[in-house]
Amino acid sequence: MPVAVYRGKGDIALDEKPVPTPGAGEVLVEVSHCGVCGTDIHMVLEGWGPPGIVGGHEWSGRIAAIGLEVDGWAVGDAVVGGELVGCGACRMCASSRPSLCEYRPPVTGDGHDGAFAQFIVTAAAGLVPVHDGVSLRNAALTEPLAVAMHAVTQAAVRPGDRVLVTGAGPIGLLAVAALRGCGVEDIVVSEPTKGRRQRALAVGAARAVEPTDLDKPLMPMDLVDEPMDAVLECSGRVEAMETGLGQLRRGGRLVFVGTGMSTPRLDNNRILLNELVVTGAYNYDAGGFTAAIDLIASGQVPVDLLIEPDDIPLTGLLDAMHKLAAGELVAKVLVVPEG
C-alpha cells in the first residue's frame, strides 16, 4: 500500500509498505481522508519526528478487517478513530481527564504508523461511528474539532464572555467554530494574514485584527481597554503568547493550544496581580470525539469554510505543509491517500 514516510527534516516521500494486520483489540481501516495537523508540520518541517515514521492522526475511513477480541464493529463500518481514551484507572482518568492519563503514549505516537497511508491499524477502543448523513470527508474534522473543543473547555468560558483567538490557521478557525458552538459570540481573532482574517469572520468571529493592533499595557497592573475573559493561543508564536497574556481581564485564562519551538517570557507580576490562569490544552475532553462528531452532524459547524476545497494525494503532502506554514492555505487540508 502507498504511505508517506518522514525521512528527515523537510523530507517526506512516497513509499510502499505491506498492509498491516490488526492485532487483538484492533481493526484495520481503509483511510478515506486524513487532515494535515500543525503537529505533522512541526514533525516534518522542524524535524521533531524520528525518521521512518508515518504521520497523520486526523482520519476517517471504513473498517476493512477486524482483529481478535473486538466486539460491536463490522467490516464496512464508517468510522473515525485514534481517540486516546486513557487507561480508565489512573487518578487523571478517574477525574475525566484522559488527556492527562498517567499512561498516555508519547507525543510522537504509540509506535503505530499514522494515516498518511491507504490503511491504518488502530485500537477498537478509540473508534467512534460516523453518523448517517455525515460524509467521511467532513468526519475527518472530528479530531481537530475535538482538540478545539477541549481548548474551549480549558478556557472555562461561558456565553457572554469575550474571547481572543490568536492565530487563525486551521486550529484557530476550529476554535472559533467551537466557541460559537457553545454560545460565545464576542470573539476577536488576531491574525497577520488577510485571507485568514476574512475566513475567521466568515466562520463566526465578531472582529478580526492584525496582531500589531493589540495594545501592550506597560505596567503589570494595567489592563487593556476591552480586556478578554480568555485567550486561546493557536499560533504557537512567542509574540502571540506574550501579547495574549496582556489582553486578559483580572482572573482571565490564557490557554496554549498551538505548539511552538520558542519559549515566551510571561510577566509573572501581571499573572500575580491579576490572578491570571495560564494553562494548556492537550488532546480532548473525555468523550471528545463523540461530542465533536455530534456537533458536525448538527450542521452548526461551517465545515466548508474549515476545509480547503481541494483534497490532495499523498504526493502533495510536503507542498501543502509548506503552504500551510506560510499561511497560503487557509483551512484544514485533507489528504486522500489512495494515491
Residues that bind Zn ion (CB under 5 A): 37, 86-87, 90, 93, 101
Min dist. Cβ of residue 43 to Zn ion (A): 11
103/304 with CB nearer Zn ion: 103
Distances from the Cα of 173 to the Cαs of 111, 165, 170, 191, 232, in angstroms? 30, 9, 5, 11, 11
136/208 with CB nearer Zn ion: 136
Taken in order 140, 143, 146, 147, is the CA torsion positive or negative? Answer: negative
* CA 127 to chain CA mean position, Å: 17
Measured CA to CA, the distance from residue 53 to residue 31 in angstroms comes to 17
The C-alpha R_g of the chain, in whole angstroms, comes to: 20
119/284 with CB nearer Zn ion: 284
Measured CA to CA, the distance from residue 53 to residue 26 in angstroms comes to 20
* Cα–Cα nearest to 176, from 285, 266, 168: 168
Min dist. Cβ of residue 87 to Zn ion (A): 3
70/92 with CB nearer Zn ion: 92
Min dist. Cβ of residue 206 to Zn ion (A): 26
Element holding 128 (H helix, E strand): strand 128-129
Q: Are 143 and 80 in contact (CB under 8 A)?
A: yes
119/282 with CB nearer Zn ion: 282
The neighbouring-strand residues paired with 332 are 307
Min dist. Cβ of residue 161 to Zn ion (A): 25
Q: Are 13 and 7 in contact (CB under 8 A)?
A: yes
120/245 with CB nearer Zn ion: 120
141/164 with CB nearer Zn ion: 141
Min dist. Cβ of residue 247 to Zn ion (A): 26
Measured CA to CA, the distance from residue 241 to residue 146 in angstroms comes to 22
Min dist. Cβ of residue 115 to Zn ion (A): 11
Which cell numbers hold the place of 158? 461561558
Measured CA to CA, the distance from residue 339 to residue 322 in angstroms comes to 20
Measured CA to CA, the distance from residue 220 to residue 274 in angstroms comes to 8
207/322 with CB nearer Zn ion: 322
Question: What does residue 318 show for φ and ψ, rounded to 5 degrees?
Answer: -65, -45
Min dist. Cβ of residue 103 to Zn ion (A): 5
Min dist. Cβ of residue 331 to Zn ion (A): 14
